[in-house]
Structure 1
Amino acid sequence: MMKYLNIFLLLLGVYSVDISSTEHVNYKGHQVWRVIPKSKEVLAILRDMEDAFELDFWSDPVATGRPVDFRIEPKFALEIQDHLEMNGIFDYTVYISDIQDLINEQKSSRKAWTATEKAVASSLDTFVYSQYHPAEEVYEWMELVVAEYGSFVSKEQFGVTYQGRPLYVLKFHKPSSSGNPKPTIFVDALIHCREWISTASLLFIFKEMLRNPKYTHMIDEVDWYFVPMINIDGYVETWLGDRLWRKTRSTGPGSLCTGVDGNRNWDNHWSYPGASGIPCSYTYYGPMPASESEIRHLQNYIMGVGKGNIGAYVTTHSYTQLILYAYGWTEELPPENEELNATSKLMHDAIKAVHGKYYTYGPSAITIYVSSGDTADWTYEEMGIVHSYTFELRDEGRYGFLLPPDQIIPNGEEYLAGLEVLSNFVRDDYEGSGF
């Protein structure tokens, strides 16, 4: 039935087909506009505009007073302006005047760097952390880590992507000085592939944990699992085709559009409000729970680590500078809300002390918006990992998903400060439990 509904909607022009890119998608003239809705009526107007004007919401219309950012195509600009003003919405801002200009700046930065330096590093020290790296260079970084720290770091393949690329996790298991077991933290990145800063910041962070004496205690005291790239197929697409691609690259039988939102595909409250059943939607939850190879394999791997064996889970996103915890699927507060809120505040305080950046924190559905079938709810409810967090990194909208590379290291420094707080908490909690 859904198949025929999709075809009907397509013929009506309600949404368009996503075509697998073979050339770079050009965003010349595309803009990002911001509206701060002052009423529920304005929120409803913005939601209704999504299909009519083919809006790509970068931050969703979910609460009054919260900025709503959306990408518009140049062909709709005047019509959208008239529509907003006709509905009494005059307080709007052109936040990014030309998306392609920002994309070109990122390309130019990398081109200038590779013209003078080798993209392939010979060691962790010569790897350039102030630049974004395509998938093959992230793979090479993982090899460097294992080559230099193979006595306690291992690389393990836990599956393959839809297009057949290997999915890897790095395991940092350094023997403790006492010989006793240590607590564990699991960190992932790039489930939404246009959020390049998620992986870039963590490459810098784990290098610091290995190299910088100030942070080596994090690996001495805690074991880590790190998945640098979940949605690798999509990430490759953002480098070779569509820089703003978000979803996976799967194509189901009879589907008119490519991909599924991996952060709506986890087997926890799948297909509840906060996700879409329309295949062309940016938040499409997929044909079934864990339908995506990447999510299915990662779920299985985490279950293999074992319930009760992971002290904290952090999934990394951008943007809006947030620290979120359960629940995403409902505005009901989790039983451990007081503890989670207190730990989030400690992380926020540590982050703010680095470069003065504020990270709003709280339950996901209340703090940002309702989202079902997401990572942190699955790890919290299905695996019993109370300290399951979603970090939304820089910035607050000036660049959005196109954060300049000169912000990678500053972002990594403040994110590292937050993770250090979490590492210390997990360590102390583990020791206090009597293990």
Structure 2
Amino acid sequence: MRYEWESMNRSRCRMAMVTTGIFYACIIACFVAADQRSYDGYEVWRAEPRTMKDVEFLKDLGFTTEIDYWSEPTTPGKPVDILIHPDKERTLRSTLETERIPFHTYIDNVQQLILEQMRRKIEAKNSRELRSILDFDYRVYHDYDEVMEWMNTITMEFPNNVTMEQIAVTYEGRPMYVLKFLGGGDVDKPVIFIDSLIHCREWITTASLLYIFKEMMTNPLYKHMLEDANWYFVPMINIDGYVETWTNDRLWRKTKSTGSSSLCTGVDANRNWDSYWSVSGSSNDPCSNLYHGPTPESEPVIRHLARYVLSLGKIDGYLSTHSYSQYILYPYNYANITTPDYELQDSVGEKMKNAIYAVYGTEYTNGLGATVLYEFSGTTSDWTYDKAGVKLSYTIELRDTGEYGFLLPPEQIIPTGEEYLAALEVFKNELTTL
């Protein structure tokens, strides 16, 4: 179902585009009408731990309170972004000051960024029938129904190359699909698997990849990418959560499953894989954003995606797409341990990093997940490396480094896609030479 505030109120919003103030007032009214959670008064603070004691304190704080870390405490000197509830601002300020951990306001109005994304959406909206993927507007974010429309369109437009297969049903009963981009020819071509939106508030992941696959199918410059490799693409893993971000809570992260013994909803799907499950960087508290679930693969989308990946038999490269922080991460994530394929993983990661930089000068960091980011287990890339035997398994954290965080402005969709496309081109080239 298309998000309620758009379908009920778009015409009123269009009529209100007389002044900026009236327009924003209309958007706010639309949100209220749909019971959309307001982040009015919320801020994002950037804390700057100077010692390991500061880092450990922030980690413990995250596990003992309902703090939403936008970027996790990892090492001294690396900033930590924290979403601040207005009711907890005074307490947290006092706590950080007592511990002498420096911090400052990094985003002073979270709700304004959310409304700005929606304003761009309404301004760009048109009623033109989607006859081709070239008709799709890649300059704005799209809800579940619109992404599904794009998926159906690309399969109808390129029936000889693109097929869609249902591989799961979500907790709330929505189908999950994989798109297969097969160029024909050599049966021994590399197989590359890409997923996105396992954390549903990371809208840039799906948006940038829709642009990328449009370029692969329509731009002669990237014709070789389909000719040289077979691609599998899951545009939306956490579909129920994605719908939630459009209808109720823009910053929802987890799935929407409910356990019989908890009043809290959802599981962190990237802590739910059957790979070092619950070992590190996750929580057994169902109310935590890092809740790993009651059992490995308790979430239907993870369980069935795992079965599908294993059923393919041969996958040469796997990239799980996230945001934000601008990282290229390879296993292991659960502990500071390198794999036997460390040198190859690091070399290919460096080449992707350099390809991204060559587009707009955007700097990514390449390295071992547990070292560059932090130790976290039950993750996609640890599972694909260990259980599916994919040597070149990566977690890609897209733009930015915190200026907008999960609320990346829509004008950055295409530039982000162009950078990621450059990395994928290098990734494909490396696989063809192995």
- The reply to whether TM is greater than 0.5 is yes
How has the CA–CA distance of structure 1 residues 98 and 120 changed in structure 2, closer, same or farther, with 3 Å as cutoff? Answer: farther
Secondary structure of the 1:371 match is: coil
Q: 1:303 aligns with which of 290, 298, 310?
A: 310
Cα distance in 2 for partners of 1:414, 1:238 equals: 25
Secondary structure of the 2:134 match is: coil
What runs of 5+ residues in structure 1 fail to find an aligned partner?
A: 1-21, 430-435
Q: 1:175 aligned to 2:188?
A: no
Alignment of 1:292-371 (within 5 A): 292-306=299-313, 309-371=314-376
Q: 1:145 aligns with which of 127, 134, 154?
A: 154
Cα distance in 1 for partners of 2:299, 2:54 equals: 35
Aligned residues: 402
Aligned-residue offset at 1:220: 0.5
Cα distance in 1 for partners of 2:187, 2:210 equals: 28
Task: Please say if residues 53 and 76 of structure 1, whose CA atoms lie closer than 8 Å, have aligned partners that are also in contact.
Answer: no
Q: Deviations over 1:22-71 (max 9, x none)?
A: 72111001000001211012123323433666321011112111110000
Aligned-residue offset at 1:183: 1.3
Q: Which residue of 2 aligns with 1:132?
A: 141
Task: Please say if residues 28 and 100 of structure 1, whose CA atoms lie closer than 8 Å, have aligned partners that are also in contact.
Answer: yes
Q: Deviations over 1:109-166 (max 9, x none)?
A: 111112xx22752211110001100011001101111111101210000110000100
Aligned-residue offset at 1:274: 1.4
Q: 1:113 aligned to 2:124?
A: yes
Q: Which residue of 2 aligns with 1:57?
A: 69
Q: 1:238 aligns with which of 223, 245, 260?
A: 245
Cα distance in 2 for partners of 1:61, 1:279 equals: 21
Q: What is the TM-score of this pair, normalised by structure 1?
A: 0.90
Alignment of 1:158-237 (within 5 A): 158-176=167-185, 179-237=186-244
Secondary structure of the 2:221 match is: coil
Aligned-residue offset at 1:79: 2.8
Secondary structure of the 1:59 match is: coil
Q: What is the TM-score of this pair, normalised by structure 2?
A: 0.90
Task: Please say if residues 63 and 283 of structure 2, whose CA atoms lie closer than 8 Å, have aligned partners that are also in contact.
Answer: no
How has the CA–CA distance of structure 1 residues 120 and 67 changed in structure 2, closer, same or farther, with 3 Å as cutoff? Answer: farther
Cα distance in 1 for partners of 2:91, 2:290 equals: 25
Aligned-residue offset at 1:355: 0.7
Cα distance in 2 for partners of 1:317, 1:263 equals: 10
Q: 1:95 aligned to 2:102?
A: no
What runs of 5+ residues in structure 2 fail to find an aligned partner?
A: 1-33
Alignment of 1:392-403 (within 5 A): 392-403=397-408
Cα distance in 2 for partners of 1:319, 1:336 equals: 26
Cα distance in 2 for partners of 1:230, 1:120 equals: 26
Cα distance in 2 for partners of 1:397, 1:24 equals: 24
Task: Please say if residues 221 and 427 of structure 1, whose CA atoms lie closer than 8 Å, have aligned partners that are also in contact.
Answer: yes
Cα distance in 2 for partners of 1:127, 1:264 equals: 33
Q: Deviations over 1:58-114 (max 9, x none)?
A: 11112111110000111222332222222223x312111011010011111111112
Q: 1:386 aligns with which of 382, 388, 391?
A: 391
Cα distance in 2 for partners of 1:277, 1:82 equals: 27
Q: Deviations over 1:376-432 (max 9, x none)?
A: 000000011000000000000000000000000000000000010001111121xxx
More displaced 10-residue stretch of structure 1: 219-228 or 254-263? 254-263
How has the CA–CA distance of structure 1 residues 119 and 257 changed in structure 2, closer, same or farther, with 3 Å as cutoff? Answer: farther
The letter of the residue matching 1:356 is G
Task: Please say if residues 63 and 288 of structure 2, whose CA atoms lie closer than 8 Å, have aligned partners that are also in contact.
Answer: no
Q: Deviations over 1:210-252 (max 9, x none)?
A: 1111111000110000000000000000000010000000012
The letter of the residue matching 1:325 is Y
Cα distance in 2 for partners of 1:299, 1:48 equals: 32
The letter of the residue matching 2:221 is K
Task: Please say if residues 54 and 72 of structure 1, whose CA atoms lie closer than 8 Å, have aligned partners that are also in contact.
Answer: no
Q: Which residue of 1 aligns with 2:87?
A: 75
Cα distance in 2 for partners of 1:321, 1:128 equals: 25
Q: Which residue of 2 aligns with 1:418?
A: 423
Cα distance in 1 for partners of 2:129, 2:169 equals: 24
The letter of the residue matching 1:215 is Y
Q: 1:36 aligned to 2:48?
A: yes
More displaced 10-residue stretch of structure 1: 182-191 or 58-67? 58-67
Task: Please say if residues 41 and 86 of structure 2, whose CA atoms lie closer than 8 Å, have aligned partners that are also in contact.
Answer: yes
Secondary structure of the 2:285 match is: coil
Secondary structure of the 1:29 match is: coil
Q: Which residue of 2 aligns with 1:404?
A: 409
